[in-house]
Chains A and B, each alone.
Chain A
Amino acid sequence: GAGVSQSPSNKVTEKGKDVELRCDPISGHTALYWYRQRLGQGLEFLIYFQGNSAPDKSGLPSDRFSAERTGESVSTLTIQRTQQEDSAVYLCASSWPAGGVGYEQYFGPGTRLTVT
C-alpha cells in the first residue's frame, strides 16, 4: 500500500512569510510524528499526535510553530513568520497501532524548506 506522503517536497520562501507543510500518514496508523532535520544534524522530535487526543506541544521550537491533525488522517505543520534558522528538512512519520515505545515509525520523504 501507499506509504507516508508529504507535500510539498520542496519549499522556498522569503523570511517573514508563513508556510504550511502537509503529511498524509499510512491509513490506519493512529500515531503521527513530526521531526525536523537541520543540515548535518540528527532528527529533532517536534510533536506527536495519537488519535483524537490533544498533542503535547512542548517540543515545538517556538510559538511560531503550530500543528494540527484531522482525526486520524492528515496533519499540517504551520510555521508563521519564517526565519532563516527554520531552514531544514521536515519529516513526518506514522506508526501502528498506538505508536508505543518499540513500534516502528514509517517515514515520509520529507519537505525541504529553505528560507531566504
Chain B
Amino acid sequence: AQRVTQPEKLLSVFKGAPVELKCNYSYSGSPELFWYVQYSRQRLQLLLRHISRESIKGFTADLNKGETSFHLKKPFAQEEDSAMYYCALGGGADGLTFGKGTHLIIQP
C-alpha cells in the first residue's frame, strides 16, 4: 500500500532562515509526487509537483528515489510562507494519498 509520511506536525523557523519540510513515501512503482499548501482561510492548492521540476515562491523539492523522499526546501523563509503543507502521492483513479501535514510557522 502506498503511504506518505511527514514526520513534523509543526515546524517553526525565523524569517530569513532556511526551511526544509520533510516527506517520505512508500510506493512500489514510479511515484508522482506533489506538495499542496493551505494558507489561513484559503482552500488547498497545488504548490509544486516533481514532474515540473519548477520553483514556486522560492520553494523547490527534489525526488530522491534512493531515500524515497521528496523534501520541500526554501533558502530564506518569509512570513507569508506560514501555512499548512501537505505532501501527496499518486492521483488518477486512486486519488491522491496525503501525508498528515506540517504546520509551518515563520516567526518575525
Q: Does B17 contact A (CB under 8 A)?
A: no
Q: Does B97 contact A (CB under 8 A)?
A: yes
Which bucket holds chain A's interface residue count? 20 to 34
**Cβ-neighbour of A43 out of B32, B49, B51, B98 (below 8 A):** B98
Q: Does B86 contact A (CB under 8 A)?
A: yes
Q: Which residues of A contact B97 (CB under 8 A)?
A: 45
Interface residue count on the B side (C-beta < 8 Å):
25
Q: A3-B43, A107-B43, A108-B43 are in contact. Are A40 and B94 (CB under 8 A)?
A: no
When the two chains form their complex, are residues B43 and A102 in contact, meaning their CB atoms are under 8 A apart? Answer: no
Q: A35-B95, A48-B93, A56-B93 are in contact. Are A102 and B86 (CB under 8 A)?
A: no
When the two chains form their complex, are residues A101 and B86 in contact, meaning their CB atoms are under 8 A apart? Answer: no
**Chain B: which residue is nearest A44 at the CB level?**
B98
When the two chains form their complex, are residues B92 and A101 in contact, meaning their CB atoms are under 8 A apart? Answer: yes
**Cβ-neighbour of B93 out of A3, A44, A50, A91 (below 8 A):** A50
Q: Does A42 contact B (CB under 8 A)?
A: yes
**Chain A: which residue is nearest B91 at the CB level?**
A101
Q: Does A100 contact B (CB under 8 A)?
A: yes
Q: Which residues of B contact A50 (CB under 8 A)?
A: 93
User: Measured between alpha carbons, how far is A44 from B97 in the docked complex, in Å?
Assistant: 7
Q: Does A68 contact B (CB under 8 A)?
A: no
Q: What is the distance, in angstroms, from B85's C-beta to the closest C-beta of chain A?
A: 11
User: Measured between alpha carbons, how far is A91 from B36 in the docked complex, in Å?
Assistant: 14
**Chain B: which residue is nearest A55 at the CB level?**
B93
User: Measured between alpha carbons, how far is A105 from B51 in the docked complex, in Å?
Assistant: 15
Which residues 83-111 of A sit at the B interface, judged by CB distance below 8 A?
A: 91, 95, 99-110
**Chain B: which residue is nearest A110 at the CB level?**
B43
Residues of B within 8 A of A (CB): 4, 6, 32, 34, 36, 43-46, 49, 51, 86, 88, 90-101
User: Closest 3 A-B residue pairs measured CB to CB?
Assistant: A45-B95, A42-B98, A101-B92
